[in-house]
């Protein structure tokens, strides 16, 4: 049980990354991505709600789980017999890991070279059937920014829905317990979110808790810099 495939598609329908090694699909990734993108586009046109769209689709031999974040569509491919609830957590953590690993590239308006994303194969093959707690720990300790890392830890102390309300324009839900910070967040928004997180943490858990969390995140960021 786990993800059999993972595809990342940009807003133009171009596949930035695809790994279909564990599927029986014989089509080229570009054709599959085009089909998936077309179905999603059509579904959004059926409603006046811009946030609407397909969240899952079942075919004869495969089930597709859709997630949309920023200007990218993420698709996980699983066996139809697998329970979505068990797999979607894996998908959402893998999305978080992908966004974190390629954060600086995804900040670009146009991505010219998709070859850089091929390095994600090793990660996907290692973690596609991992336990939720192991994947969550990885994502918690490999955040690309101080704010992202702080949120990845505070979701263990606050309801995700409450944290999202701080700034729903730049804080987006990846899944039941994961939040992503928009790559193009302004310094003003970032500062305001930090202030609110500190206020809430101090109020509920007392002074010093927020500093302990951010100190650990800074340590993880320094470790990542040394390893990169």
According to DSSP, residue 129 is labeled T
pLDDT at 27: 62
**Separation CA 212–CA 93 (nearest Å):** 24
**pLDDT for 49 beyond 60:** no
**pLDDT for 33 beyond 80:** no
| pLDDT band at 26; cut points 50, 70, 90 | low
**pLDDT for 34 beyond 80:** no
> For 69-107, how does the pLDDT look when each residue is reduced to its tens digit (9 = 90+)?
888 889 998 888 887 887 888 999 999 999 999 988 887
Contact by Cβ (8 Å): 15, 30? yes
Q: What is the average pLDDT across 207-221? A: 94
DSSP 46-81: TSS-TT---SEEE-SS-EEEEEEETTEEEEEEE-TT
Bridge partners (DSSP) listed for residue 180: 172
Domain ranges of the chain: 5-130, 141-227
> For 120-169, how does the pLDDT look when each residue is reduced to its tens digit (9 = 90+)?
999 999 999 888 889 888 888 889 999 999 999 999 999 999 999 999 99
pLDDT at 56: 77
The CATH classification number of 5-130 equals 3.30.450.70
**Which two structure tokens, joined as six digits, stand for 184?**
């193009």
pLDDT-wise least confident of 38-42, 111-115, 164-168 = 38-42
pLDDT at 216: 94
pLDDT at 172: 93
pLDDT-wise least confident of 6-20, 48-62, 102-116, 206-220 = 48-62
pTM for the full predicted model: 0.86
């Amino acid at each position: 049980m786990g993800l059999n495939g993972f595809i990342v598609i940009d807003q133009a329908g171009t596949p930035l990354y695809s790994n279909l090694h564990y599927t029986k699909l014989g089509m080229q990734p570009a054709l599959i991505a085009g089909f998936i993108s077309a179905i999603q586009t059509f579904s959004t046109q059926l409603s006046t709600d811009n946030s609407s769209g397909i969240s899952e689709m079942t075919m004869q031999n495969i089930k597709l789980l859709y997630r949309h974040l920023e200007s990218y569509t993420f698709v996980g491919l699983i066996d139809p017999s697998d329970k979505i609830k068990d797999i979607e957590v894996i998908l959402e953590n893998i999305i978080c890991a992908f966004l974190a690993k390629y954060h600086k590239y995804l900040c670009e308006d146009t991505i010219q070279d998709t070859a850089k994303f091929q390095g994600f194969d090793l990660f996907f093959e290692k973690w596609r059937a991992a336990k939720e707690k192991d994947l969550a720990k990885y994502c918690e300790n490999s955040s690309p920014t101080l704010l992202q890392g702080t949120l990845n830890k505070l979701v263990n102390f606050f309801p995700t829905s409450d944290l999202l309300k701080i700034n729903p324009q730049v804080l987006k839900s990846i899944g039941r317990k994961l939040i992503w910070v928009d790559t193009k967040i302004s310094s003003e928004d970032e500062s305001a979110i930090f202030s609110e997180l500190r206020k809430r943490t101090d109020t509920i858990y007392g002074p010093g808790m927020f500093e302990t969390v951010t100190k650990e995140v800074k340590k993880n960021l320094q470790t990542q810099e040394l390893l990169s």
